[in-house]
Amino acid sequence: MQIACPGCCRPKTAHLCDECQRWQHLYPQEHFRHTALFHFNPAMSTYFQNYKTHGDYRLRRLFECNLKHYFETVTDDCLFVPIPTDAKHAERRGFDPVQGIYGEVVSLTPLLNKKTTAMAQAAKSRAGRLASPQFFEWSAATAVPASKRILLLDDVYTTGRTLFHARACLRQAGYQGRIDSFSVAR
C-alpha cells in the first residue's frame, strides 16, 4: 500500500497534508478521513469528461467491480450519503453522476440537496472553489439518522470544499455521529 495523507488520501505524505491542516484549523471539532480509490490522472480526467460533460451514462458502471470489492470491507452500521448535483445540472445531463456510480453498488440514503447555484464547482478556479459559501441544505423530508457513522460519497475529491460543506450541513441538522468520506478519484 502507498503512503497517503490520512485526511484526504493525497499520496506521498504520511501526515496530514497542508490542505488538511487548513481544514483542521477551520473545522477543529471534525476528525475527518477521506478514502479515494484512484489518482485523478489524465485517463481519469478523460473518463469524467465523457461521463459527466458528455453525459455517457453507460460509463457509470466502469468502476463497479472495484467499488463492490471496496464496499465489502465496510461492514459497520454506516449510512451511504451521496453528494448531490443541483437539480438544474441533473436535468440538463439527464442523470445524477454520483448516484449513477454508487446506486448499484450500495444502498444510498440521500440526505442533502444542492442549492441551485449560478456556477458549478467544476467551472471555478481553485481559489473560487475554496471560497464558495455553503451550497447544501438538509433535505427536509428526512429525520436526522441515528446511525453511528455516515460515509459521504463523491465522484472526485478536488479541494475538500464540497465535503466540508456537506459535513457542516449534517452537523447543522443535528447529526452527531462520525462522518467519513469516499471518492472514486483524488
Interface with Zn ion by CB under 5 A: which residues? Answer: 5, 7-8, 10, 17, 20
Distances (CA, A) of 6 to 22, 118, 141: 14, 33, 34
∠ CA 40-179-75, nearest 5°, is 85
DSSP assignment letter at 108: B
Of 7 and 84, nearer to Zn ion (C-beta) is: 7
Residue 10 CB, nearest approach to Zn ion (Å): 5
Identify the H or E element spanning 168.
helix 161-172
Q: How far is the CB of 8 from Zn ion (least distance, A)?
A: 3
Least separation, in Å, of the C-beta of 143 and Zn ion? 33
Q: In terms of CB distance, is 35 or 117 closer to Zn ion?
A: 35
As measured in angstroms, the least distance from the Cβ of 7 to Zn ion is 4
Identity of the residue, 15 or 92, whose beta carbon is nearer to Zn ion in the bound complex: 15
Ramachandran category for residue 76: left, alpha or beta (phi over 0 → left; psi -120 to 50 → alpha) = beta
Residues composing the chain? 186
175 or 182: CB nearest Zn ion: 182
* Strand, helix or coil for residue 27: coil
